[in-house]
Structure 1
């Protein structure tokens, strides 16, 4: 009887060990499959992201048929080649005649639910935001997501004033979101009733981004035009 009692715990321990070993093996296999799937689909995901971004650039810069990415390095813009990337970059948009139509700028900020990533178009000739597109948002469906769908809200970004002062060092009137129907100035964003926080977030994002980028970008507009002219000359 004593011998049987001693053998039972040993048998249970052996069984538990086999179970743990099997579970560990299954876990490792699942982890390996996840990694392989991720690695296998990553190029396709990156390609789709790049295509979506390019389509968004065309939307936010009216008249654009071709684009080129530029990195900001030591206060100057340098053209990016191929898949070269940079932390601070913008996209210049050109028409079929290689005329500069404007710039697309990525920006982000806190929304109601999470970080909102946007792309907006800037026309230096007007010194205005002339297009807007939401790249990534987790705002509440039916409410916060109106920032992507509401025509009246999207109309704010056809000529949103971001003019610089005479020294080209700061925005004259910072972009600000007002209550729905209360917009009277060209630098104001008409908010969305029922999506106050989300619409205000968009105004804040563009306000902060334009304060950073416009004083750097606007004084260097001729640089982008000269690059286009040099490219035309080199092809003849």
Structure 2
């Protein structure tokens, strides 16, 4: 009886080891492909927020980690990319979060020029109500394009709000909380960059 149990235990251990080995091989073979897709996805979203710019993989390397829960919406770090033409800095692309969406966090990416002009904004992730709050997605509504070309300054920061709050941005019929949160997050992301001149020269420190 004991011998039979021992044999079964050895057989199970052998099968488990075999499965682990197979999974390790599969992971080793698929990891490069997964990483390639991850990088391609990043490149695609950066191309969307930098209209007319030929985005190359070098942009992913010019990246720094930033952190400011008050202005960037999360206690942890976010990534900020810098687009340069030669040695001249033309744009920042920063990840940010609206923590006060109707259904929780709304993750965004914002591209802006050093003078505070927004080049483009896209939603990366959200859980907002389908048919209402999801109009923040570019494929659902052109609303997210309304940020392009707008400038954030100390004088007009108050106008970076939905019209219901006295600002310049439309809200959605039946849904004000979601656009209000996004407008505030985009404005705060620009303010963060404007308040940190050292971002232009800080050494890249993201692990891609």
Scaled by the length of structure 1, what TM-score is found?
0.57
Q: What is the CA deviation profile of residues 100-151 of structure 1, one whole-angstrom value per residue up to 9, with x for unaligned ones?
A: 54221111232223322211110235x2112111122232222221101354
Contact 1:132 1:154 (C-alpha < 8 Å) held by counterparts: yes
Root-mean-square deviation (CA, aligned residues, Å) is 4.2
Could you tell me which runs of 5 or more consecutive residues in structure 2 were left unpaired when the two chains were aligned. 1-11, 67-76, 203-208
CA separation of 1:73 and 1:193: change in aligned 2, threshold 3 A: closer
2:49 alignment partner, one of 60, 64, 77:
60
SS at match of 2:147: helix
Higher-Rg structure is 1
Is the Cα–Cα contact under 8 Å of residues 159 and 166 in structure 2 kept in the other structure? no
| 1:163 aligns with one of 132, 147, 153 | 153
SS in 1 for 2:133: coil
- 2:112 is matched with 122
Q: CA deviation at 1:34?
A: 7.5
Say whether the 8 Å CA contact 1:164–1:215 is kept in structure 2: no
Mean Cα deviation higher: 130-139 or 36-45: 36-45
Aligned to 1:134, what secondary structure does the other structure show?
strand
How many positions carry a matched residue from both structures?
Answer: 187
Larger RCO: 1 or 2 (CA < 8 Å, sep 6+) = 2
- Structure-to-structure mapping, 1:173-188, within 5 angstroms: 173-174=157-158, 176-179=160-163, 188=168
